[in-house]
């Protein structure tokens, strides 16, 4: 059956979207990381990492991240911030958490992609987040695409509390999937993070304190006055509009393209975000 997106560009698909195709952000699952250069908006995904999401709320409310810094920028890989040894007071947050690498696939509203994947039996999206699942094991997990945020850890899998976070700023390192807890993704402000000066130390760590970018504050959107919130909407991934968007990217109809790829990787699917429409 021909796709409804045949002959349409992504811009065409989005222009025809309905208000019901978009969802607002949940203030209780939205973090604002304020830098001198601007604001980074991070959406948490408690469907996959509920304990880490709760710990991040506790850390944020304890003002744990205020005054810390971005400590690492590794080329084509990650930008990292926080405090690895968690010496600052953490309020009600836990210093260590059991890993949340995977979860049962049952019960997830999973929008599957039509093409095979190298790293997983099937990939797709769950409420706007790139994900994968395996019917053989009955498990599902979030995948490491550009803009995805995870909780750093040591070799011990129980050491990732969220006190140290990273965001993918390079080509999707899918080998990390199921080896580290993914907590969410950046919706706005990737331009501030991906352009951080590369660290000269091992793994891109900054060698001198003055090389680090200070974090002014991190706040939960629910704790920020209404007038100071960044109001965004995310395209729902369980809609026909999103299905059409995927097809428009699998088989590009833009005048420039002469040979459509005919397939798409989960990390190459755009996840549109826009200012809240009123």
Question: What is the band of 253 on the pLDDT scale with cuts at 50, 70, 90?
Answer: confident
- By C-alpha distance, which of 194, 247, 218, 270 is closest to 63? 218
CA distance 74 to 163: 19
Average pLDDT value over all residues in the chain: 95
Label residue 3 by pLDDT band (50, 70, 90).
Answer: very low
3-state SS class at 267 = helix
User: Which pTM was predicted?
Assistant: 0.95
pLDDT of residue 6: 55
> pLDDT tens-digit profile of 85-125?
768 899 999 999 999 999 999 999 999 999 999 999 999 99
In the three-class reduction of DSSP (H, G, I as helix; E, B as strand; rest coil), residue 149 is classed as strand
Average of pLDDT values for 17-32?
A: 98
Residues 52-60: what's their mean pLDDT? 98
Provide DSSP, 34-93: EETTEEEEEEE-TTT-HHHHHHHHHHHHTTTTTT-EEEEE-TTSEEEEE-TT--S--TT-
Average pLDDT over residues 238-262: 94
């Amino acid at each position: 059956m021909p796709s409804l997106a045949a002959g349409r560009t992504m811009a065409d698909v989005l222009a025809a979207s309905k208000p019901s195709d978009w969802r607002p952000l949940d203030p209780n699952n939205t973090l604002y990381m304020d830098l001198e250069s601007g604001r980074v908006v991070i959406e948490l995904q408690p469907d996959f990492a509920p304990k880490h999401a709760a710990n991040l709320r506790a850390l944020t409310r304890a003002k744990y991240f205020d005054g810390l810094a971005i400590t690492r920028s590794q080329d084509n890989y990650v930008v990292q911030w926080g405090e690895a040894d968690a010496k600052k007071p953490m309020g009600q947050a836990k210093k260590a958490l059991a890993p949340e690498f995977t979860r049962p696939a049952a019960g997830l509203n999973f929008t599957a992609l039509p093409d095979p994947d190298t790293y997983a039996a099937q990939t797709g999206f769950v409420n706007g987040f790139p994900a994968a699942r395996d019917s053989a094991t009955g498990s599902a997990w979030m995948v490491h695409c550009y803009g995805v945020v995870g909780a750093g850890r040591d070799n011990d899998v129980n050491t990732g509390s969220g006190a140290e976070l990273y965001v993918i700023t390079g080509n999707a390192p899918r080998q990390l999937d199921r080896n580290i807890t993914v907590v969410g993704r950046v919706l706005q402000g990737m331009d501030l993070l991906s352009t951080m000066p590369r660290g000269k130390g091992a793994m891109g760590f900054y060698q001198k304190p003055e090389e680090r970018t200070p974090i002014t504050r991190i706040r939960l959107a629910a704790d920020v006055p209404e007038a100071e919130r960044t109001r965004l909407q995310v395209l729902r991934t369980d809609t026909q509009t999103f299905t059409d968007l995927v097809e428009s990217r699998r088989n590009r109809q833009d005048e420039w393209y002469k040979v459509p790829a005919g397939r798409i990787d989960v990390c190459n699917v755009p996840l549109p975000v826009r200012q809240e429409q009123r």
